[in-house]
Chain A
Amino acid sequence: AQKVTQAQTEISVVEKEDVTLDCVYETRDTTYYLFWYKQPPSGELVFLIRRNSFDEQNEISGRYSWNFQKSTSSFNFTITASQVVDSAVYFCALSETGRGAQKLVFGQGTRLTINP
C-alpha cells in the first residue's frame, strides 16, 4: 500500500531563515502524483503544488521550491526567507488508485512555526 512519511513533526525557525520540509513516499505504481497542501490555523487545506512521477524537474514559485527525487522517493519542500505568514501545518500527499477513484494518502503533517 502507498505510504507517505513526514518525519518532522514540528519545526520552529526564526523569520527569514530557510526551512526544508521532508517528505518520503512509498508506492508500487509507476504512475503517481505527489502534492503539497498548506493548512493555516483556520483549518482549510490550500493546494500548493502537484507533481507527476514522470517529471523530476524541480520547481520554484516565489519563495517556495520543491525537490522531487525518484531515486530516493522524496519530494521535499523548501521555503526561502521564511515569513510569519508561512506558519501552518504542511501536508505531503500521494495519489493512489483504488476501485475507480483516485485517493489521496496524506503524511502526518509538519507543523511549521516562524517566529518573528
Chain B
Amino acid sequence: SQTIHQWPATLVQPVGSPLSLECTVEGTSNPNLYWYRQAAGRGLQLLFYSVGIGQISSEVPQNLSASRPQDRQFILSSKKLLLSDSGFYLCAWVTGQGHYGYTFGSGTRLTVV
C-alpha cells in the first residue's frame, strides 16, 4: 500500500538553530513531492516541490531549503531558524499529473522560540 511518513510530529526549536524535517513515501516510485506550510490560522502555502532526485523548485523566497537525496525522500532544512518559520509543515506526494488528488503526511508542528 502507498503511505507517507513525516516526522517529527511536533518540534520546538530556538531561534538560530538548524532544522531538518524528513518525509518518505512507500509503495510508489518516482512521485512528485511537495512541502507546504500553514501559518497559524491561515491557508496552505507551497514552499518547494520536486519531480525527481536532486530536482528542487522553490515557490517563495525564504529561510528554508529542500533536498531530495533519494526517489522517495524529501527533506526540508534551515541553517538558522527565524520566529517566522513557525507553522505546520505538510509533505505531500502525487504520481503522474496529480489530477487524482494529493496525499498528505500527518504534518510537523514547528514552534520557533
Return A9 CB to nearest CB of chain B, in Å.
Answer: 9
Assign chain B's interface to a size class.
20 to 34
Q: In the bound complex, how far is the Cα of B88 from the Cα of A35, in angstroms? A: 21
A108, CB-defined interface residue at 8 Å = yes
C-alpha gap A100/B49 in the complex (Å): 10
B101 lies within 8 A of A91 (CB): no
By beta carbon, the residue of chain A nearest B50 is A101
Say which residue of A44, A100, A106 sits within 8 Å of B43 (CB atoms). A106
- State whether B51 touches A35 (Cβ < 8 A): no
Whole-angstrom CA separation of A19 from B99 in the bound complex: 27
Chain B: interface secondary structure? strand
Contact A102 B43 (CB under 8 A): no
CB of B15 closer than 8 Å to a CB of A: no
Q: Which of A37, A47, A91, A102 contacts B97 (CB 8 A)?
A: A102
B49 near A95 (CB under 8 angstroms)?
A: no
Q: A99-B57, A108-B42 are in contact. Are A43 and B51 (CB under 8 A)?
A: no
Q: How many A residues have CB within 8 A of the partner chain?
A: 24
What is the CA–CA distance of A33 and B106 in the complex, to the nearest angstrom?
A: 24
Contact A91 B43 (CB under 8 A): yes
Tell which of B43, B45, B92 has the most Cβ of chain A within 10 Å.
B43
> Can you name the residue of chain B whose Cβ is closest to the Cβ of A102?
B98
With both beta carbons as reference points, the residue of chain B lying nearest to A109 in the complex is identified as B43
Mark A103-116 against chain B: 1 for CB-CB distance below 8 A, else 0. 11111110000000
B45: chain A residues within 8 A (beta carbon): 106
Cα distance, A47 to B103, chains bound together (Å):
8
Query: Can you give 11 contacting A-B residue pairs, CB < 8 Å?
Result: A42-B106, A43-B106, A43-B109, A44-B106, A45-B90, A101-B50, A102-B98, A102-B99, A103-B49, A104-B46, A105-B46
Question: Interface residues, chain B, CB within 8 Å of chain A?
Answer: 32, 34, 36, 42-46, 49-51, 57, 59, 88, 90, 92, 94, 97-107, 109
